[in-house]
């Protein structure tokens, strides 16, 4: 079974109207904007399935890859992550990469 939840985080566009017009969509509306994390939390807490996936509505990630991620999850993967930059070389400056490495390792000491 598939449950499709749309969390409308206090938007002023037609998100709620469009979501309500789609059969099978469960719309959850925030009357006040709670931010990206708040919208995710609402969706995760409201989901009833064993597997949970999410896709941002801003077009950041192409939705056509979502079924492949679902298949991997259903085939027993512990975690499935989609990345639009997979396989690309990092353009992060060496100084920032070094700083991230040092900071991350300092955190493990705490």
pLDDT over 90 (residue 28): yes
Rounded Cα gap, residues 108 and 57, in angstroms:
35
pLDDT value at residue 103: 86
Q: What is d(CA 40, CA 23) in angstroms, rounded to the nearest whole number?
A: 22
Half-sphere exposure of 103 (CA within 13 A, CB side): 6
Domain positions in the chain are: 4-109
The predicted-structure confidence for 44-99, as pLDDT tens digits, reads as follows 999 998 888 888 887 777 888 888 888 999 999 998 988 777 777 777 788 988 98
Enter the pTM of the model. Answer: 0.69
Which residue has tokens 């059969």? 23
Tell me the average pLDDT of the chain.
88
Compute the distance between CA of residue 70 and CA of residue 80 in angstroms, rounded to an integer. 8
């Amino acid at each position: 079974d598939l449950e499709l939840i749309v969390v409308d985080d206090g938007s002023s566009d037609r998100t709620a109207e469009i979501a309500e017009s789609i059969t099978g969509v469960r719309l959850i509306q925030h009357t006040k904007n709670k931010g990206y994390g708040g919208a995710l939390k609402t969706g995760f807490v409201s989901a009833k399935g064993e597997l949970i996936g999410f896709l941002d509505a801003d077009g950041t990630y192409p939705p056509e890859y979502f079924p492949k991620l679902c298949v991997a999850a259903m085939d027993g993967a512990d975690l499935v992550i989609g990345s639009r930059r997979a396989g690309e070389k990092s353009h992060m400056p060496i100084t920032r990469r070094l700083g991230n490495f040092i900071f991350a390792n300092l955190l493990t000491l705490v």
